[in-house]
Amino acid sequence: MQDIVLPKKNEDQLLAKAKELGSEPMFAYSICDWTPGSGLHIAASKPKELDSVRKKAKQAAFVVASSTDEKTIRMIMDAKWIKYFTNIETSTGSDHSHYRRSNFNQVLAKLAKDTSKTYLVDFSHILKIEGKKRKLLLGRIAQNIKICKKYKVPVGIATFATDPYELRNPSDLKAFLRTLKAGKIA
């Protein structure tokens, strides 16, 4: 299984630990550390931030985008140059009585399917949140997975590890995703 990691000048340590665990890491760098031909991780809070990196992203091996802003999420789903999306469910506020505030719906799922996107569950984000917030986040992720399954959007999981100790065994990650009822894993 391939895992996406976010190295901070520790590629060798991450590679050694990933090899020990039996996974193949794909490195994604932020825009300030990125070089053409490698993966690009974009954490956009405004639509303008996506526009500013569009030209550089076309030279990337793959692009992972995350945002909690509704307009930016819509742009992520429209953009054909973005391959993966993650962390869209981390909006603040309480859930409504009939649905969760997961920032994902059938319209966005259809766009994601049409532009061949994969929804990635960010395992490191789940690990860093504690208590009731983690329970809320897991519920929102489960809802997004349910919508993805309905509209046949591929679902995957990645550690997004910045440290070798954040890496996990690929079979453990797949098992965790199955508990969220993801079914077939991309």
The strand pair at 24-29 and 84-86 is best described as: unpaired
Q: Which two tokens stand for residue 54?
A: 């569009």
Question: Is the pLDDT confidence value at 176 over 60?
Answer: yes
Q: What is residue 118's predicted lDDT score, i.e. its pLDDT?
A: 96
Mean predicted confidence (pLDDT) in 4-11: 91
* 3-state class (DSSP) for residue 113: helix
Q: 185 falls in which pLDDT band (50, 70, 90)?
A: low
Q: What is residue 100's predicted lDDT score, i.e. its pLDDT?
A: 75
Question: Is the pLDDT confidence value at 181 over 90?
Answer: no
C-alpha neighbours within 13 Å on the C-beta side of residue 51? 5
Please count the residues of the chain: 186
With a CB cutoff of 8 Å and minimum separation 6, the contacts of 139 are 95, 100
Give 80-123 pLDDT, tens digit per residue. 999 999 999 866 666 665 667 788 989 999 999 999 999 999 99
Give 28-78 pLDDT, tens digit per residue. 999 888 888 899 999 998 989 898 898 888 899 999 999 988 899 999 999
> Structural domains in the chain?
2-179 (3.20.20.140)
Q: Which of 94, 91, 93 is nearest to 105 (CA)?
A: 91
What pTM, to 2 d.p., does this model score? Answer: 0.90
